[in-house]
Structure 1
Amino acid sequence: MRAVPPLDLLLALLKTYSNFVGAMMARGLEVVGKLGLYMLGARALGVHESGNFFLCLTWVGLIATVSRAGFEKAVIRHLAAELAVGRGRDARKAFFMSAGFVTLGGTLATLATILLAYPLAKHAFGDAALAAPLTISAFAILPQALCIYMGHALVGFDRGATGQLVQNGLWPALTLAALLAGVHSLEGLLYALAGANLTAALLGLVLLLRERHRFQAEPAPGSTVEAMPALWRTAIPLSVVEVVQITLASLPVLLLAAFGLPAAVGAFSVANRISMLIWVVSTSIGVVAAPSFAASHRREEWDELRRLNRRVRLAVAVFGAPIVAAMLLAPEMLLHLIGPGFEIAAPALMVMGIGQLINCMLPCQDIVLSMTGYGSMLRWLNTAQFVVCCTICVLLIPPLGMMGAAIATAVFAAQGAIGTTLAVRHYLPKAF
């Protein structure tokens, strides 16, 4: 057998991972934007006000996720699977139906937050002054819901890097730009957040209009491919998954805000977001691969599905391992880069780093399940995560504070990675 020249092998490897690299570049913009926003925002606002800022960010992310009801994940599967067999009209129907549900949900969530801002601030978080920031943050909910939906729809069209830019990379960079331009108040940053998400959503809409010709695709003559399930049947289990995931990510912060001081909330929020860089890596790579997972499963190309899954796991391990090492070996240094006073969260960051290490080694199997029709199984796995995480939060956060929140976050990350991996090996052994 003729040996492959090293240069040709390198070029082939780069071609194989080009989509992953493009997605990582888009998420790199997100990392730079978010780290810059967290670092400079924390210094401009101080530990107390930055805690309120992170609390509002957490609330917007949680409620925007609830408002999307899983339709953003469902549209990836339906667009990719229908276009893979030439059913452009069915893809168009799925796109417009899911867009309508997301818009309606985001509008209702915005109104509910405005109406409930004062009761939440006074009774849930024990600070009536938080009502005004919560009210302002409500204006970011619908734009963020649409921004993330547009990004997922682009992914369904196999535009993974562009989709990542729209849903994740652009709004942090624009909010950071507002901060650098002189917006240094909590209220101003929240308005900038809403404007940045709206800009990203509009850009996503423009880019999607360029793909509308693909809705004209027709199936091959004599095609007898089985019809996809109704869109809502895909969305409902995934909506439970998405809500549970964002709730579990938000619950430690929210309970810490209820039982701890704003300074502890600010420090833990920064450490938590540093640990979430592993989610950034795994999600960016997994989302790029999601339409290929759906298309390969739709065409029953098991060898290709298994090869893609292995490449995804390897890519996450390569990109994520250095980040985990930094969290475990130099947590104080990382937190000191954010600003003075945040080093108190170093032990918590190390604990969360252990959970993210497991997540880094067993990544993206939740995406495999959601793209191959096993959303119901994923829902049960997430329900188990929810029960375990809530139990740990209730038992550990009141007495241990920040460390209790860190333990809950680490267990949540590890349990999700292990559970989804075991499920894929059992239900889709050909895909692992």
Structure 2
Amino acid sequence: MINKLKSVLSDPEHRHTAINAGIALAIRVLGAGMAFIFNLIIARQLGAEQAGYFFLSLAIAMLLSAAAKLGFDNTVLRFTGANANNGVTVKSILNFALKYSLPVALVIAVLLYLLAPFIATELFSKPQMANSLAFIAPAIVGLSAVAIIAMSLQGRHNLIASIPCQNIAHFLLCGAAVLILNTSTANTTALYLSLSLGVTASFFYWIALKSLNNRGNTVNANELWQSARPNWVIILMSQAVQWSAPIIIGVYLVAEQVAYFSVAQRIALLTSFILMAVNLVVAPKFAAFKAADNMDGIRKTALFSVRLLTLSALPIVLFMLLLPEFLMGLFGEQFKQGALILQILVIGQAVNVITGSVGFLLQMTGNERDMRLVTIISGCGVLVSVPLFTSLYGVIGAAAATAFFISLQNLLAVYFVKKRLGFNTLKFWQKI
């Protein structure tokens, strides 16, 4: 076993993947811990009802920011990964994406701010949520900015900056403000999050442009748009799968049920933080291999990464499946009602992990249209099934529908990876 491991790690690409995945995982652990603590702070400081209003407002902001990014986040990752050593090109790609996405985000944020009372009262029948919706509206601009900036940093393998930019800094700032100022309402928390995202985006934009070299040329706008258009649908549908369930639950059920589902969902997402860490390393590698027409490098890196993921995630999945009440109870006694929700969502995330980086495999190798079809199927499935199952079976039905379509999305992507690239990521035991 040890000799086999040494043989695998003797390959410089596998060694680079393992080492950088380890670094990314360490930072991701910090990020996952910060996100967990942030959710814990929100649940305990605000209580189930106010936490429900905040998480519902955040889900709406996340979904709207996905629309505002116009698909440029993964496009920035792909083209930056292929031009990581050309500073002029990297800067051109980042600024091009921000130039088009941030104005769209600003327009959407203004509309949400103005329509917040109507949305809260007429759509959700929760007039108390109007202020939290209004105060979280600026976060749409911040969420769009940090996602695109983080992808630029990731494409250059700057994991130490990329992960805090997208997943740590704004949670740290907002959580600290909630604790220090003893906040107990959703609207004030939403305001702090919006301000925290503004600070985070400004700081990491400066980091992203710092110390770039003068090599390369400005980017071809047509190439970026050709990639961004299918990516926009992919991101929008993927976010619909991820964030539409809390919104739909908010329409049909009380705020407390939104809080239970949201907390369970965020705990379940810890299962896939290892996948996210590995994605940070392998996604730009896939783009670089594709640019060099090295299909064997893509296959070996993909299969090696699935082995890392399966071995790393299994203990976490088992822990969550066996001790759901303990984990939910950390957020308050009443949150134990969400134990079954957590178990259902963990199964969906487990399938997400064991299939590997199939989404990035398709997107980074120029097969965005296949991934677009996959996400349209899963996204439409969620948008149809979650309202139906929520009305029939409550929050448990919403969790089951969400987990099913997360699993389906990844299994369909496995099929297209096999069709386009010639290997099956589920057969991770095959010879590399």
TM-score, normalised by the number of residues in structure 2 = 0.91
Asked if 2 retains the 8 angstrom alpha-carbon contact of 1:302 and 1:431, the reply is no
Residue 283 of structure 2 corresponds to residue 290 of structure 1: yes
Q: What is the aligned partner in structure 1 of residue 413 from structure 2?
A: 420
Asked if 1 retains the 8 angstrom alpha-carbon contact of 2:75 and 2:224, the reply is yes
Residues of 2 paired with 1:4 and 1:366: CA distance? 29
Asked if 2 retains the 8 angstrom alpha-carbon contact of 1:252 and 1:409, the reply is yes
Asked if 2 retains the 8 angstrom alpha-carbon contact of 1:26 and 1:169, the reply is no
Structure 1 residues 135-175: Cα deviation after superposition (integer angstroms, max 9, x where no partner):
00112111121111111111122223421221112211222
Residue 103 of structure 2 corresponds to residue 110 of structure 1: no
Residue 39 of structure 2 corresponds to residue 28 of structure 1: no
1:126 aligns to what SS in structure 2? Answer: coil
Q: What is the aligned partner in structure 2 of residue 362 from structure 1?
A: 355
Residues of 2 paired with 1:137 and 1:173: CA distance? 17
Query: CA shift at 1:318, angstroms?
Result: 2.6
Asked if 2 retains the 8 angstrom alpha-carbon contact of 1:80 and 1:156, the reply is yes
The structure-2 alpha-carbon separation of the partners of 1:262 and 1:83, relative to structure 1 and needing over 3 Å to count, comes to closer
Residues of 2 paired with 1:359 and 1:424: CA distance? 15
Query: CA shift at 1:287, angstroms?
Result: 2.7
Equivalences for 1:13-412 in 2 at 5 Å?
A: 16-83=17-84, 89-185=88-184, 186-213=186-213, 215-217=214-216, 230-412=223-405
2:137 aligns to what SS in structure 1? Answer: helix
Asked if 1 retains the 8 angstrom alpha-carbon contact of 2:89 and 2:216, the reply is no
Residues of 2 paired with 1:326 and 1:165: CA distance? 26
Query: CA shift at 1:288, angstroms?
Result: 2.4
Query: CA shift at 1:236, angstroms?
Result: 0.9
Residues of 2 paired with 1:16 and 1:283: CA distance? 13
Q: Name the aligned partner's letter for residue 207 of structure 2.
A: L
Asked if 2 retains the 8 angstrom alpha-carbon contact of 1:41 and 1:184, the reply is no
After superposing the two structures, state which structure 1 stretch, 173-182 or 252-261, moved more.
173-182
Residues of 2 paired with 1:217 and 1:229: CA distance? 17
Query: CA shift at 1:363, angstroms?
Result: 2.1
Q: What is the aligned partner in structure 1 of residue 429 from structure 2?
A: none
Residues of 1 paired with 2:256 and 2:84: CA distance? 50
Query: CA shift at 1:204, angstroms?
Result: 1.3
Residues of 1 paired with 2:305 and 2:351: CA distance? 15
Q: What is the aligned partner in structure 2 of residue 224 from structure 1?
A: none
1:401 aligns to what SS in structure 2? Answer: helix
Residues of 2 paired with 1:62 and 1:307: CA distance? 34
After superposing the two structures, state which structure 1 stretch, 355-364 or 406-415, moved more.
355-364
Q: Name the aligned partner's letter for residue 63 of structure 1.
A: L
Asked if 1 retains the 8 angstrom alpha-carbon contact of 2:94 and 2:148, the reply is no
The structure-2 alpha-carbon separation of the partners of 1:69 and 1:9, relative to structure 1 and needing over 3 Å to count, comes to closer
Residues of 1 paired with 2:291 and 2:242: CA distance? 32
Asked if 1 retains the 8 angstrom alpha-carbon contact of 2:91 and 2:209, the reply is no
Residues of 2 paired with 1:426 and 1:19: CA distance? 29
Residues of 2 paired with 1:133 and 1:9: CA distance? 50
Q: Name the aligned partner's letter for residue 180 of structure 2.
A: A
Query: CA shift at 1:261, angstroms?
Result: 1.3
After superposing the two structures, state which structure 1 stretch, 267-276 or 352-361, moved more.
352-361
Q: Name the aligned partner's letter for residue 397 of structure 1.
A: T
Q: Name the aligned partner's letter for residue 39 of structure 1.
A: L
Residues of 1 paired with 2:9 and 2:67: CA distance? 45
Consecutive unaligned residues in structure 1, runs of 5 or more: 219-226
After superposing the two structures, state which structure 1 stretch, 90-99 or 392-401, moved more.
90-99
Asked if 2 retains the 8 angstrom alpha-carbon contact of 1:359 and 1:414, the reply is yes
Structure 1 residues 87-144: Cα deviation after superposition (integer angstroms, max 9, x where no partner):
x655443232112112212211211111211111111110122111100011211112
After superposing the two structures, state which structure 1 stretch, 119-128 or 167-176, moved more.
167-176
Query: CA shift at 1:82, angstroms?
Result: 3.4
After superposing the two structures, state which structure 1 stretch, 65-74 or 302-311, moved more.
302-311
Query: CA shift at 1:15, angstroms?
Result: 5.3
Residues of 1 paired with 2:244 and 2:367: CA distance? 26
Asked if 1 retains the 8 angstrom alpha-carbon contact of 2:272 and 2:350, the reply is no
Residues of 2 paired with 1:91 and 1:211: CA distance? 12
Q: Name the aligned partner's letter for residue 123 of structure 1.
A: E
The structure-2 alpha-carbon separation of the partners of 1:110 and 1:322, relative to structure 1 and needing over 3 Å to count, comes to same
Residues of 2 paired with 1:98 and 1:154: CA distance? 14
Structure 1 residues 259-280: Cα deviation after superposition (integer angstroms, max 9, x where no partner):
1111111111111111112333
The structure-2 alpha-carbon separation of the partners of 1:94 and 1:391, relative to structure 1 and needing over 3 Å to count, comes to same
The structure-2 alpha-carbon separation of the partners of 1:333 and 1:10, relative to structure 1 and needing over 3 Å to count, comes to farther
Asked if 2 retains the 8 angstrom alpha-carbon contact of 1:68 and 1:102, the reply is yes
How many residues matched?
Answer: 420
Residues of 1 paired with 2:362 and 2:16: CA distance? 26
Taking only the aligned residue pairs, the percentage that are identical comes to 24
Consecutive unaligned residues in structure 2, runs of 5 or more: 426-432
Q: What is the aligned partner in structure 2 of residue 223 from structure 1?
A: none
Residues of 2 paired with 1:319 and 1:10: CA distance? 21
Residues of 2 paired with 1:428 and 1:54: CA distance? 39
Query: CA shift at 1:395, angstroms?
Result: 2.1
Q: Name the aligned partner's letter for residue 164 of structure 1.
A: I
Q: Name the aligned partner's letter for residue 189 of structure 2.
A: L
Residues of 2 paired with 1:100 and 1:348: CA distance? 40
Residues of 2 paired with 1:81 and 1:119: CA distance? 45
